[in-house]
Amino acid sequence: MNEAGPIEDFGYMVHPTIMATHSFGNAPALDVLLVPGGIGNVALEQANNTSVEDFIRQRYPKLDYLVSVCTGAGSLAKAGVLEGRRATSNKGAWDWVTKQGTNVTWVPSARWVVDGNIWTSSGVSAGTSPAMALGIDMAYTFLSHVYGADDQALINTMNGIEYAPHLDAHWDPFSVVHKACLRFLECWSGRAWANN
């Protein structure tokens, strides 16, 4: 994103226009960077546009947290920040995402993975919040980590949307549905080390 203004969806889907207030070049200092996934990652790759990865690589050293949702983990991998780390991503796009970086321990059975200050989540419900940005399941755990599980705003939000988050980071049932885990035992054994 080279300038502030409307962010397009590459014509793949119909969404409300998002108005960027900053470009990558003039963005303020950040505590948390959320990297969303979706078809836009593929469109950027097809256009040989590395601006997202460049921004991640530049900003990561000063972040408190780097959080990715869905195929956003592919951008983290291409930026090189997942080198030597564990991560997960959308199981429906597993083959594409896991080819985006080298020396990444991809955890196919995980709903989300925390490795240091990097949080990666699986697909849409693991990676979508009421604001359509941060995975409900991972968001609940992340916000509990940052603000405490007894934070009243967090409790009120979960009660207000009538959502009980999936709290087992080690098991994503969609890893089997989308065959990210080719054998059940491969996935089951992954549960033991997904977030250790």
Any catalytic annotation for residue 70? yes
- Amino acid at position 132, single letter: M
In the chain, alpha helices (H): 39-46, 51-59, 72-79, 94-97, 136-147, 152-160, 174-177, 184-190
Catalytic residue among 70, 82, 97, 194: 70
Separation CA 99–CA 12 (nearest Å):
23
- What DSSP letter does each residue of 66-83 carry, written as one string? EEE-TTHHHHHHHHTTTT
Tell the residue number behind the tokens 């969806």, with chain if given.
9
Count of C-beta atoms within a 10 Å radius of residue 102: 9
* Residues that are catalytic: 70
